[in-house]
Structure 1
């Protein structure tokens, strides 16, 4: 999992299956792959639904993604909306989503082709060309998490088809304002009103909560750098880390607001307004729990005596 600087590793990172674009600079040894599934609501915090690790040479990432997609479909059916980033955009993953019949919102690259109905025929155009020159159907104020202020944005929805995938889709364009790049979202949800267009945009906007949770696993929990050699030991270590991560996410539920507030105030206080109003204080929660348990070590009886 760590970096290696040697002539042998530099020679082994030639172009081959899995390494079509060798890394530049520091040579990294291919290691273990991992994939997680997080469920998040429009108002509820994220919940860890599953996590899996595997060796890079044991299976393919797409096989694991399809396995998790099938499990999610069997567990929830069409009760949830699946959010996919631009890494999943394209014909192969779009066909899998249509075959399973799931509801999805996919970030679509603006250079990818779609078919627009123009009079009597369907013309194949790039996504940005389909909505070029068309005015927004609805506008409203949106909260920009990066700029920390309200910005007036507009939305537009156009019925489209994929050139090679059968099905009816909608291309939703979110225009967050001057100086901000628009979002191109492809969905199979039926859209007839401006409220439904904003629902699609709100669904994808919640993706940022998922990104924040994964950032914590990489930076704070060290999921990408386990310092163990044997596969069994490494898997046990990551399972313990996943349980700790799920426990921290559970503390973000509204039912724990009083406990969480008291814990942060007593054991990890912050005077800045930015820290006190943070939506997902995972870093402060971990630090507060560590100080609490250092001062009051939890008593665990490993070998209970029989009476």
Structure 2
């Protein structure tokens, strides 16, 4: 988007109708990512009554589920009550009614539990918040659960991981409906650092590693993530931390859970994947992520992360 150009300057192809199905115990952030132009958003509940979020905030509802038809998209936001039970009264019937008249069906976070309980995920790939993927797979064996992706598209059914992944899913839907330019403009307006594709991991490296207690180790981790292509050799890291190589390696394993070399390699691989997903060539992604050559990047992609998340 050119400087000075606003969202209103970019034409939408047509207004899509979206129904957001809310219920008592729904998570407010999961509802919020479903809102925005150029969509006509209908907030509905199983019986048309107002709902109350998991934090106690009242949500105004304009429609009962059975009064809504001819939808482009159904969005089922998440709530812990869908995992822990019992399922809110009438929710599954509402999901089935709305899904029958929708062009596509989506869920955010634990909303996938409602889709699965309604039978809409049988024989499909789906995801949910990483904390609940094992529960989803155990409870609904007919669903092929993807534990890692931030969102999964299986035909006209799309499911996303926790909270912020709903933004990535929403941007993907905007791109489908109105093109890349508008999706990019909305991402910029939301101050989203990067538009992640569905195959991006749910937890980037800094989120799943243990945050070190020592300030010099925290500084090193932040520097590695901020500029993966910089000199992060073991000797350079030790020098910046004011520690010997051996002492740094020992402390890093104790506090972060992996070696400095493994942390750097995994951060660089994650950065390269993000660059590739954003359209960079293999050579450019390898250079900008610090992977070096395109061949090195290809080998790393086949091998996968050097360090593994603690779940």
Q: Report the TM-score, using the length of structure 2 for normalisation.
A: 0.25
Tell me which protein shows more helix as a share of its residues: 2
Larger gyration radius, structure 1 or structure 2: 1
Tell me which protein shows more strand as a share of its residues: 1
Q: Report the TM-score, using the length of structure 1 for normalisation.
A: 0.25
